[in-house]
Structure 1
Amino acid sequence: MHHSSSSVVEVKKLLAIALPIMGAQIAQSSMSVADTLMVGRLGADPLAAIALGTSIWMPLYLFLAGCLLGITPFVAQWTGAKESAKIGAFTFQGIWFGSIIALVSILLMYHSQWLLFWLEVPEHLHPMIADYLIGIMLGFPALAVYQTLRSYTEGLGFTQPVLVISLICLVIDVIANAILIYGFGPIPALGVLGCGLGTAIAMWSSVGLMWLNIRYRRRYKDSSPLDHFARPDWQSISEIAKVGTPIGIAIFFEVGLFTTIALFIARLGSTEVAAHQIALNVTSVTFMVPLSLAMALTVRVGHGLGESGYLQAKMAAKVGVLCTVGASFVISAMIWLLASSIAGLYTPDQGVVELAVALLYFAAIFQLSDALQVSASGALRGYKDTKIIMPITLFSYWGVGMGLGYVLALTDWLIAPVGVKGFWIGLIAGLSCAALLLCWRLYKTSESEPLVPARTVKSE
């Protein structure tokens, strides 16, 4: 009996961390929805420019955020072990690490012209894309600071502030956009450039709000990174990089897969592109549920390891993976049952709706593999066992997923080419392969008694 009651407690602790993260992720993805809707009123070209600009900066941002997730398991383990004195100085070094990545990202965006030529983007869109990216580049240093402080507060298990800040910044983004895109009083209408600047204002606002939250709330007093301004300490930075970089690269591979598929589909015609876009839009929203549970799982496994070692962590991992899969069953059933109503919301075009419904059925199937792979890698992050995630995702997404998808969609090597559906079958195969390999690795890691003592970083 004791076992089941401790599982219930674990579920409650997991959800207490996961639900605010979920709200925050949805608020953040709503920002890009708001941008799209507001620029959409200016016409098709500005909309295309923002879509293409986003596909350049979004992977860079997700890589940055992934790398800084490397801070969370350290903070979680030290919190569990009641060693909060180590947290502040270590976390501050994340700001240096993030700033290096932000700087490289800004350089890549500044020189993204060659990419646009290579992708054969119509040349009249280039100046608009460049305008939009100016704003984003101004905001990127803010992302380095914000993501560091976000990983820190989530590692402590305090996730409400992230939710509140994301909601406030969504409002700031919409107001700044309205003023800068369409003009207001003495401020001229800046169009696409205004949208980029509005986003940058929201990014810097999030830093200011997070700073106030950490500076003036008692719960951060013992571990605040704001009291530890220091020059770069390469040992701490390399510790964060060791755990974080494989996560960043794995996320980059996954996002890259979806963007590349979108580019391949472009040659199949607008019905296929539109249907793919609808299915992708739906899954990127539903993915926030397993992703948030996985982020909370990292914290719970870290706390478990720090508090009472491997048994506690193992239970946290097991409960977390089961919760995530349970949630995705519900989502999967909803997508399956509501597919035609969902597709109808996006477009009146019957051809697009029919194809989108077919793709949504595929999407319903891959929710389960997706939940398994994301929760297993969330738990592995808690164990700081992240090196393996990168080769597994590279092989699964690009070898199996992209390889099979390309063959089925665009060639007649196995069967007559089936177009966009082929890519979705490839996605299911790739995600399932990743799920199997990551779950196997998690089983191995959680079964092996302490490979690592609770704490191995040099003590001050």
Structure 2
Amino acid sequence: MIASSAGSLVDTALLGRQGATSLAAFAVTVAVFNPAVAAISGAMRGVMPFVAAKDDDPDGLLPVVRNGMWLGVCVGLLGALAVASVPLISRLSGVPDSTLDALGAFPYILACSALVTSIGATATSTLVGLGQGKLVMRAGLTGTAAAVVLSLILVGGIGPFDGLGLPGAGIAMVASSLTNATLAHIALRRSTVLAGRSLRLGRPHPREVIRLAGVGIPLAATVLIKFAVLGVLAIAVARISSDDAAVHSISVSLVNLMFTAAVAVGQATVPLAAKYVKTGDVPEVRRGVLAGVWVTCCAVFALGTLLVVLREPVTSLFTKNPGLQDDVLAMLPLVLVVVVTDAFQAVFGFGLIAIKRTVPSLVTFAACYGALALAAVPIAAAGGIHAVWATLACANALLVVGQAFFFHQRSGRLRAVEPEPATA
């Protein structure tokens, strides 16, 4: 996940060298593509606990995987439709004509990438649910490598080939998604309890697909709420000054890079805790999630320490402006607090995924981040960027309390036999 985050910066750097118009078109499309893909991934994480519950029963696991694939196709088509609507959304939003003209086929290429990503997410979620994280890593690293190499060739060009610019970036992203999805599905067919079994889609079972969606869709909605509110924060800070907007953008990039560790650890706790859900072993379920909290604490502490030690060279990667570098360095304490609180709430959120109760996460996010969105603009006007980030840290702290409370409450209701829907 960290490699993928770092690899995504390559297209930005290459397109930035080709001109502001191409970079603006890329940014406009990615502003829709990233939330769409995040929502798809969130929806597919809802499959993990169902997979973990059948990790030793290939006959029972097979229909779960097939219905999960149908769910992936459905959410993938919705995500692809959203990305393909970028030209219309941009025009209605007042994006300059020069940027609209530069879009070309890029949104439609990324729409294909979103659909392929949803198909790949079915396999990766299943592999994570089966505790096969190494197979996911291999597929992901290979896909990232393909994206970097193809971006260097197709965007920047090589030798007499001048490159394709923005369409080249889209092709590289599709190839990366296709590589990742293909390798993940091959690994699922060869290296798990499903080895030798056919994973064809077959006929969908609407009731079972809806059951999976009952866990996954609230996660997708939670992700969209988070993206939307962070967008509001960016606008609130941009109203202060362009320098503050730049500092905010760099700080968010640092948070996202470290937050991937929490997401990775959180996903790993799902099969660890979910295998005890079917037996109603509450202490072991809670022990698995608390283990995730401790590992996340260590990971974030290590990354945070590395950031503090290398703060000057790290900030210089984002800007050469000494004034902006100083402003980013001044933000580091708040950045670390935001990362830590966000990481802890994420792990408890994955604990709720493990017990198939994701609606409480949605409600908690809606309440905490809804209040944050309403307060962002007046707080930015009164206290500046530091006040905005302090408020974000408070919202995340409330999320930790809310997620931990609901996990403790709902895990305490577990029995040896779960209720059939088990979604709220």
Task: Structure 2 unaligned segments of length 5 or more: list them.
Answer: none
SS at match of 1:78: coil
State percent identity of aligned pairs: 20
- AA in 1 matched with 2:172: G
Among 242, 245, 250, the alignment partner of 2:222 is 250
Residue 63 of structure 1 pairs with residue 39 of structure 2: yes
- AA in 2 matched with 1:64: I
Residue 409 of structure 1 pairs with residue 380 of structure 2: yes
Residue 435 of structure 1 pairs with residue 400 of structure 2: yes
Task: Structure 1 unaligned segments of length 5 or more: list them.
Answer: 1-24, 411-416
* 8 Å contact kept, 1:134–1:193: no
- AA in 2 matched with 1:444: Q
* 8 Å contact kept, 1:250–1:394: yes
The Cα shift of 1:335 comes to 4.0
What residue in structure 1 maps to residue 51 of structure 2? 75
SS at match of 1:268: coil
Q: Within 2, Cα distance between the matches of 1:188 and 1:42?
A: 11
* 8 Å contact kept, 2:32–2:82: no
Q: Within 2, Cα distance between the matches of 1:441 and 1:40?
A: 45
Among 179, 189, 199, the alignment partner of 1:205 is 179
* 8 Å contact kept, 1:309–1:454: no
Among 75, 94, 97, the alignment partner of 1:101 is 75
Among 101, 117, 125, the alignment partner of 1:151 is 125
Q: Within 2, Cα distance between the matches of 1:115 and 1:423?
A: 28
Say how many residue pairs are matched: 422
Q: Within 1, Cα distance between the matches of 2:139 and 2:353?
A: 25
TM-score (norm 2): 0.92
Among 388, 391, 409, the alignment partner of 2:363 is 391
SS at match of 2:207: helix
SS at match of 1:190: coil
Q: 1:370 to 1:408 in 2, by over 3 A?
A: same
Q: 1:132 to 1:418 in 2, by over 3 A?
A: farther
What residue in structure 1 maps to residue 199 of structure 2? 227
Residue 112 of structure 1 pairs with residue 89 of structure 2: no
* 8 Å contact kept, 2:215–2:356: yes
Q: Within 2, Cα distance between the matches of 1:398 and 1:338?
A: 35
Among 34, 40, 52, the alignment partner of 2:10 is 34
- AA in 1 matched with 2:330: A
* 8 Å contact kept, 1:402–1:427: no
What residue in structure 2 maps to residue 173 of structure 1? 147
SS at match of 1:67: helix
Q: Within 1, Cα distance between the matches of 2:375 and 2:358?
A: 26
* 8 Å contact kept, 2:2–2:261: no
Q: Within 2, Cα distance between the matches of 1:432 and 1:444?
A: 18
Q: Within 1, Cα distance between the matches of 2:192 and 2:89?
A: 48
- AA in 2 matched with 1:300: L
Q: 1:233 to 1:312 in 2, by over 3 A?
A: same
The Cα shift of 1:119 comes to 4.2
What residue in structure 2 maps to residue 418 of structure 1? 383
* 8 Å contact kept, 1:304–1:316: no
Residue 311 of structure 1 pairs with residue 283 of structure 2: yes
What residue in structure 2 maps to residue 48 of structure 1? 24
SS at match of 2:43: helix
SS at match of 1:388: helix
Q: 1:391 to 1:129 in 2, by over 3 A?
A: farther
Q: Within 1, Cα distance between the matches of 2:333 and 2:103?
A: 34
Among 60, 69, 92, the alignment partner of 2:66 is 92
The Cα shift of 1:336 comes to 4.7
The Cα shift of 1:306 comes to 3.6
The Cα shift of 1:125 comes to 0.9
The Cα shift of 1:303 comes to 1.8
The Cα shift of 1:184 comes to 5.5
The Cα shift of 1:261 comes to 2.2
- AA in 2 matched with 1:403: L
- AA in 1 matched with 2:341: S
TM-score (norm 1): 0.85
The Cα shift of 1:167 comes to 1.2
Q: Within 2, Cα distance between the matches of 1:118 and 1:340?
A: 41
- AA in 2 matched with 1:425: A
1:304-357 CA distances to partner (integer Å, 9 max, x unpaired)?
Answer: 224673232122122222332343344444445554443233222122112212
* 8 Å contact kept, 1:66–1:251: yes
SS at match of 1:227: coil
Q: 1:456 to 1:111 in 2, by over 3 A?
A: closer
What residue in structure 2 maps to residue 131 of structure 1? 105
The Cα shift of 1:151 comes to 0.6
Q: Within 1, Cα distance between the matches of 2:105 and 2:387?
A: 36
Q: 1:239 to 1:363 in 2, by over 3 A?
A: same
SS at match of 1:88: helix
C-alpha RMSD of matched pairs (Å): 2.4
* 8 Å contact kept, 1:28–1:170: yes
1:196-251 CA distances to partner (integer Å, 9 max, x unpaired)?
Answer: 111111111222222322333364327x5x43531221011101100101111111
Q: 1:116 to 1:267 in 2, by over 3 A?
A: farther
Q: Within 1, Cα distance between the matches of 2:213 and 2:397?
A: 28
What residue in structure 1 maps to residue 417 of structure 2? 453
Q: Within 2, Cα distance between the matches of 1:338 and 1:317?
A: 31
Q: 1:187 to 1:201 in 2, by over 3 A?
A: farther
Comparing 107-116 with 199-208, which one deviates more in the overlay?
Answer: 107-116
Q: Within 1, Cα distance between the matches of 2:289 and 2:157?
A: 51
